[in-house]
């Protein structure tokens, strides 16, 4: 008989890791595209956004570890709190980096057209 709890755990963790690795690959692609632009405005923008995407990928991985540990043990205690804080800091830093990097790149490109 299939244990539905374990199957659900595997499905959730697989989705989480696929999301994290997709984010990492996306950041690496952006990093490679950045090299083709050289040192211009787009290269700088892509570099900053790629760093933000990597931070978000780190947050996704922390969420996966935390949820796995939570399923393995019912109570994480202080470890769960620390993992949650690290996860949230990675998400906040990643989204902030992406937003600020995008805004600065857009402003620089707009100033070129005026």
Q: How confident is the model at residue 97 (pLDDT cuts 50, 70, 90)?
A: very high
Share of the chain above pLDDT 70, in %: 97
**By C-alpha distance, which of 113, 101, 104, 92 is closest to 48?**
101
Q: How confident is the model at residue 71 (pLDDT cuts 50, 70, 90)?
A: confident
pLDDT at 56: 92
d(CA 55, CA 99): 13
pLDDT at 61: 87
Q: What are the pLDDT digits (tens) for 39-49?
A: 778 788 888 88
Q: Two tokens at 65?
A: 């570890």
More confident of the two residues 39 and 63:
63
Which strand (E) or helix (H) includes residue 12? helix 4-37
Q: Two tokens at 69?
A: 């540990």
């Amino acid at each position: 008989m299939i244990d539905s709890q374990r199957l659900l755990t595997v499905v959730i963790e697989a989705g989480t890791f696929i999301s994290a690795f997709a984010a990492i690959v996306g950041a690496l692609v952006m990093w490679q595209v950045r090299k083709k632009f050289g040192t211009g405005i787009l290269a700088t923008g892509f570099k900053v956004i790629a760093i933000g995407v990597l931070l978000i990928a780190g947050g996704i991985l922390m969420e996966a570890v935390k949820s796995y540990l939570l399923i393995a043990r019912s109570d994480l205690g202080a470890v769960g709190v620390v993992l949650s804080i690290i996860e949230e800091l990675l998400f906040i830093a990643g989204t902030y980096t992406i937003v600020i990097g995008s805004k600065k790149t857009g402003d620089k490109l707009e100033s070129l057209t005026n």
